[in-house]
């Protein structure tokens, strides 16, 4: 785990995400910006650090070509713009990366592809195989086919997911401001850049709120992505994509942007997928004692602690576990369907067989299949 700036020198695999604002100048895609990022990617590879790129910009590159005056708001026009623009975006990356001596590959994914564990593993294998062949994957959301409920919507979440999927040690989120400030820098001249965030607490998340350039939703989704990654043991940095050699400086351990320290506890395997990609099909509510047993003592979820169930799900489906105040505590794979849980909730495990006429297991969710969230997600 890369627990501080100095440790970033040891990074062997990173994902960087470039937002539309980073890749565009007034007239369109910035060849120079892409070239600079491609050159740094080649340097990192020579230093022994593998790089994956999450690139926005398909809609930005496409809408003008469709003859639209401004960035579209409707799903249909966004999809058409992305279909046109993705070709230009990828062509620009291919050109920049090949000039830097690198072979690139295009990967387009939707949240729906990864919500399914087989899809998740398949994508993971493809990424690993590309990296093993020294290819630089350039990843974007498959905007053309994603309908609203299957969308990430923004690439901060996609970037965090790719970092988890690729088992990267570092995620660098390049944007158009220097990092996270303790106040809105465009309104408050005293605002200062935070070099280090130890923990993304509610008060840190609140720094992203409240309108202005920091509050457009942009910084919030970036912090949420950094938080997910920190909880999975992955370091991240939010920095300005306009800064010269930004990637190289970060990996050298220089004080650039905001560094988010990873938490010591790392998720593994199935828990990783649960926390990052699965979409809960329902929710179960647990009482206080049960909430503590899950979150503090690492116990499995037993029917006795359940006080409510919502949604309709089958055995094996991912479900969210919430406390009585509605805060999400964890995501888990349920051994029982929602209809079965309605019958056994509040009852001791030993009575499951008597109530249902059978028993798959004593636990509704086994602790091995439970990924704790630290709230707020």
Q: CB 135 → ligand GLU: shortest distance, Å?
A: 20
- Six-digit token pair at 95? 């050109």
- Inter-CA distances, 12 with 9, 58, 363, Å: 9, 29, 39
Q: Which residue shows structure tokens 């959301």? A: 141
Contacts for 336 with CB less than 8 Å, ≥ 6 apart: 303, 315, 344, 360, 364
Using the rule CB under 6 A, is 236 a contact of ligand GLU? Answer: no
| Residue among 8 and 161 whose Cβ is closer to ligand GLU | 161
Site residues for ligand GLU, 65-104, by CB under 6 A, read 82
Using the rule CB under 6 A, is 56 a contact of ligand GLU? Answer: yes
| Residue among 154 and 231 whose Cβ is closer to ligand GLU | 154
DSSP secondary structure, 330-344, as one string: EEEE-SS-HHHHHHH
Site residues for ligand GLU, 171-230, by CB under 6 A, read none
- Which member of 51, 59, 80, 170 binds ligand GLU (CB under 6 A)? 59
| Residue among 58 and 321 whose Cβ is closer to ligand GLU | 58
With CB under 6 A as the contact rule, which of the stretches 40-48, 140-148, 184-192, 340-348 interacts with ligand GLU?
Answer: 140-148
List the beta bridge partners of residue 328: 322
Using the rule CB under 6 A, is 140 a contact of ligand GLU? Answer: yes
Site residues for ligand GLU, 257-296, by CB under 6 A, read none
Using the rule CB under 6 A, is 159 a contact of ligand GLU? Answer: no
Using the rule CB under 6 A, is 340 a contact of ligand GLU? Answer: no
| Residue among 58 and 274 whose Cβ is closer to ligand GLU | 58
- Which member of 154, 272, 323, 340 binds ligand GLU (CB under 6 A)? 154
In the chain, beta strands by DSSP E: 13-18, 24-25, 28-29, 50-55, 103-109, 135-141, 170-175, 196-197, 235-240, 258-260, 282-286, 306-311, 318-322, 328-333, 370-372
- Which member of 94, 141, 231, 317 binds ligand GLU (CB under 6 A)? 141
| Long-range contacts (CB closer than 8 Å, 24 or more residues apart) made by 266-272 | 266/1, 266/232, 266/233, 267/231, 267/232, 267/233, 267/371, 270/117, 270/333, 270/368, 270/369, 271/368, 271/369, 271/370, 271/371, 272/164, 272/232, 272/371
In 3D space, the residue among 150, 172, 149, 146 whose CA is nearest the CA of residue 159 turns out to be: 172
Q: CB 136 → ligand GLU: shortest distance, Å?
A: 17
Using the rule CB under 6 A, is 363 a contact of ligand GLU? Answer: no
- Which member of 143, 317, 340, 374 binds ligand GLU (CB under 6 A)? 143
With CB under 6 A as the contact rule, which of the stretches 8-16, 32-40, 58-66, 191-199 interacts with ligand GLU?
Answer: 58-66
Provide the binding-site residues for ligand GLU, judged by CB under 6 A: 19-20, 56-60, 82, 140-141, 143, 154-155
């Amino acid at each position: 785990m890369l627990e501080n700036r100095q440790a970033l020198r040891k990074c062997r695999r990173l994902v960087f995400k470039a937002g539309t604002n980073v890749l565009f100048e007034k007239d369109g895609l910035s060849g120079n910006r892409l070239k600079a990022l491609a050159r740094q990617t080649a340097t990192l590879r020579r230093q022994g650090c593998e790089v994956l790129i999450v690139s926005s910009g398909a809609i930005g590159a496409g809408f003008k070509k469709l003859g639209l005056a401004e960035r579209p708001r409707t799903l249909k026009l966004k999809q058409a713009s992305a279909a046109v623009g993705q070709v230009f975006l990828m062509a620009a990356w291919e050109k920049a990366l090949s000039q830097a001596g690198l072979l690139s590959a295009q990967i387009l994914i939707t949240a729906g592809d990864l919500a399914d564990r087989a899809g998740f593993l398949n994508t993971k294998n493809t990424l690993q195989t590309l990296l093993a062949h020294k290819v630089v994957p350039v990843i974007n959301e498959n905007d053309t086919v994603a309908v609203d409920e299957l969308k990430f919507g923004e690439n901060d979440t996609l970037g965090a997911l790719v970092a988890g999927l690729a088992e990267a040690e570092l995620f660098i989120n390049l944007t158009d401001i220097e990092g996270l400030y303790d106040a809105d820098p465009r309104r408050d001249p005293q605002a200062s850049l935070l070099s280090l965030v130890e923990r993304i607490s509610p008060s840190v998340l609140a720094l992203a709120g409240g309108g202005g350039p920091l509050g457009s939703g942009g910084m919030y989704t970036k912090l949420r992505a950094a938080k997910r990654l920190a909880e999975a043991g992955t370091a991240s940095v939010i920095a300005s994509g306009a800064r010269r050699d930004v990637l190289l400086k970060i990996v050298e351990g220089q004080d650039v942007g905001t560094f988010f320290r990873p938490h010591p506890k790392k998720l593994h395997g199935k828990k990783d997928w649960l926390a990052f990609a699965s979409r809960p099909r329902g929710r179960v509510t647990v009482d206080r004692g049960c909430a503590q047993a899950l979150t503090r003592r690492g116990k499995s979820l037993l029917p006795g602690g359940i006080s409510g169930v919502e949604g309709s799900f089958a055995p094996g489906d991912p479900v969210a576990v919430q406390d009585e105040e509605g805060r999400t505590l964890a995501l888990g794979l349920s051994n029982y369907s929602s209809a079965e849980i309605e019958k056994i909730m509040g009852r001791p495990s030993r009575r499951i067989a008597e109530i249902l006429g059978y028993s798959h297991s004593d636990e509704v969710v086994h602790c091995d299949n439970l990924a704790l969230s630290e709230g707020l997600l």
